[in-house]
Amino acid sequence: MKIGVIGAGIIGRSIAYHLGKAGAQVTVFDIGEPGNGVSSTSFACLNAFGQAEADLPFRLDAIKYHSMIARDVGSERHLHTTGTLRLASFGNAAAKLEQHAKTLCKYGSQVEFISPAAAGRLEPSIRTESAAEVVLVPEEGWVHAGALCRALIDLSTKRFAVRYRRERVQGLERL
């Protein structure tokens, strides 16, 4: 089977990688550098905290997928699951933070309530003394999307029948 994928971001490269792994002949078309478009901004942050509940399963799956694909292609150095800190002062902000934490836990995510002093030791450059609630989400972080995309391209083209072409797609025709 021959398949064309338009876009060499994390989604296009992942599709090409998995299709190539399954035995398809894949050509990826992109005019730009792999992973330097939308992927470098929207998929670079691996977070779910505070997002709409309807989006949580997708976001949590994306975090797990990035970890899996980084291990699969040997590019763990591009994945930075350093965790995120969320701080709130008193009142509605603290209640909202607690609600977001409970919602995330409901979907199986690890969330830790820590003291403001502990948060200050983790991240000395932020002021934590006015925080009433502090949440650490260890699985969140970021990915160097461009580097991960390049690793996917390199591995896909070496192991499978996947090609990458730097050209603009002008249109599509049904054959």
Q: What is the pLDDT of residue 42?
A: 64
- For the chain, the domains span 1-44+144-175, 47-142
Q: What is the pLDDT of residue 24?
A: 97
Q: Is residue 15 very low, low, confident or very high in pLDDT (cuts 50, 70, 90)?
A: very high
105 has a pLDDT exceeding 80: yes
pTM higher than 0.75:
yes
Cα 19-39-2 angle, rounded to 5 deg: 20
174 has a pLDDT exceeding 90: no
What is the CATH T-level fold of the domain 1-44+144-175, as seen in this structure?
A: FAD/NAD(P)-binding domain (3.50.50)
